[in-house]
Structure 1
């Protein structure tokens, strides 16, 4: 009786060549395509009709601009936002080298503490919520900023090409905020945290989701992610909260962006981003009440 419930693997055939089996689908219209019909794109492959029409649907010509896998506009420079984010991180790092601890203390993330003896209480719980964002661009050590920027340059451009600039920016910022919020929620009140690692781990999670969506070999990204997680939990001084918070946030947002149904794409994508932002705010409110009550 057990064999009656066994599900056989689904076999798909090229929509233009019904006699040819394939496991690849068009990145825009999702129709199965064989190697002869695959047209390389920025992310994945497209069918000849989608390339010819540039419509993003593959069924009829359209006056709209070509779209990415997630529905964003295809830009000429598909690394622009990545370059801007990298430049902001490097610029803040240079500013820290010039200004020193004074700038670091005003930007880093911590829940609640007295900065100086008999001084005012500072931190996120004291109303300085901007620290959730500013700490994402803050680094003190050369190795720290170098490792994070290497990860950004490696992971960012493919995601920017697949999602489009606006969606990619939302993914990066919300991943970083998710990491900051989890750090604030579970860390000791005076424990400081800084760095872009939360956002970078969000890109890791999003890359895994994207590769799964395109049926790519996931082993390279999973191995790299596994190595980074080992360092996260074994290397002293690393905020595992920021890494895990960013990873989960990035994966969830990316899933909503690349799996949203076409007829409700924007509603699902914008709704997922809004929901994640609400969760971040809720985590911060809960922790603030805990520290100030």
Structure 2
């Protein structure tokens, strides 16, 4: 998802009387932004923001080749969340899409036997496998593998387009390590809530839990950058309507992923600079602990 335009926040255009459009990023003119480089004052989007001692800098200023000289504070370019700036800010998103597509091709080639082995199911007799299967019988890997399986071409198409639109800008703003951590924490939280609430013999699969987590983190990021929240709120409402109105949708995964994404995303973009890494990854660990507790509680109920 591209960043939405927000209310002007420039140093010379303050107050509600200035309703004109925001300037475009100097490297990506199609992306409006209210953030400027603290050294050269060029407008920069989240993909181009590099964390500095005060505010954010553009890539050129961070490297010290903007004509203003090199400063020690900018010697190690960082993203908004403190991650390392990567040459390809969408690499992890591309890899995740590739893994999902590869898994879907295996599903199409091998058939339902493969899907039945790795989809999320609490406890049920699976005729195709000839045995009682499920997480309650120690198959905890299903909580992870189900995140990369899809039930149809429409299912995977919708999820991969969402992952590309939302994940790319978020990866650029967080950095690779924080982004991939957010993805898996959200996905596992969605799997845990599904396992806890859904009927034990109800199978589910898909990357939607992780993607809803990215969606929640994107909303937090947009608020942090003071962008207009109406587009993301409208999109969230539409997705939730689909979640609860369409049949065969594991709404538990969507809600679990969304809540985990909001909590983790808030820690990623609002953590104090001095203890940023501890707060960010500590929050991720706490969310995972909650997911583990939900999993153990449900397992105790079914065994």
2:234 is equivalent to residue 234 of structure 1: no
- Distance (Å, rounded) in 2 between the aligned partners of 1:118 and 1:99: 14
Counterpart contact for 1:69–1:163, Cα < 8 Å = yes
Q: 2:211 aligned to 192, 200, 203, which one?
A: 200
- Distance (Å, rounded) in 1 between the aligned partners of 2:179 and 2:154: 25
Match of 2:196 in 1: 185
2:252 is equivalent to residue 248 of structure 1: no
User: Structure 1 residues 181, 63: closer, same or farther in 2, change over 3 A?
Assistant: same
- Distance (Å, rounded) in 2 between the aligned partners of 1:49 and 1:132: 38
- Distance (Å, rounded) in 2 between the aligned partners of 1:151 and 1:266: 28
How far did residue 64 of structure 1 move? 4.2
- Distance (Å, rounded) in 1 between the aligned partners of 2:121 and 2:56: 53
Counterpart contact for 1:112–1:122, Cα < 8 Å = yes
2:270 is equivalent to residue 259 of structure 1: yes
User: Structure 1 residues 75, 13: closer, same or farther in 2, change over 3 A?
Assistant: closer
Counterpart contact for 1:54–1:62, Cα < 8 Å = no
Q: CA RMSD for the aligned pairs?
A: 2.8
How far did residue 120 of structure 1 move? 3.5
TM-score (norm 1): 0.83
Q: 2:291 aligned to 263, 275, 280, which one?
A: 280
- Distance (Å, rounded) in 1 between the aligned partners of 2:165 and 2:130: 43
What is the number of residues matched between the two proteins? 267
- Distance (Å, rounded) in 1 between the aligned partners of 2:301 and 2:180: 32
How far did residue 122 of structure 1 move? 1.4
Counterpart contact for 1:176–1:198, Cα < 8 Å = yes
- Distance (Å, rounded) in 2 between the aligned partners of 1:153 and 1:285: 33
2:95 is equivalent to residue 91 of structure 1: no
How far did residue 218 of structure 1 move? 1.2
- Distance (Å, rounded) in 1 between the aligned partners of 2:56 and 2:128: 69
Q: 2:123 aligned to 96, 112, 124, which one?
A: 112
- Distance (Å, rounded) in 2 between the aligned partners of 1:206 and 1:174: 12
SS in 2 for 1:189: coil
Counterpart contact for 1:22–1:33, Cα < 8 Å = no
- Distance (Å, rounded) in 2 between the aligned partners of 1:80 and 1:185: 33
Q: 1:71 aligned to 71, 78, 82, which one?
A: 82
2:148 is equivalent to residue 137 of structure 1: yes
Counterpart contact for 1:72–1:167, Cα < 8 Å = yes
- Distance (Å, rounded) in 1 between the aligned partners of 2:56 and 2:203: 53
How far did residue 42 of structure 1 move? 3.7
Match of 1:40 in 2: 44
Match of 1:220 in 2: 231
Counterpart contact for 1:137–1:195, Cα < 8 Å = yes
SS in 1 for 2:200: coil
Match of 2:181 in 1: 170
User: Structure 1 residues 60, 185: closer, same or farther in 2, change over 3 A?
Assistant: same
Give matches, 1:149-160, under 5 Å. 149-160=160-171
- Distance (Å, rounded) in 2 between the aligned partners of 1:150 and 1:20: 36
- Distance (Å, rounded) in 2 between the aligned partners of 1:82 and 1:67: 19
Counterpart contact for 2:123–2:136, Cα < 8 Å = yes
- Distance (Å, rounded) in 2 between the aligned partners of 1:49 and 1:40: 9
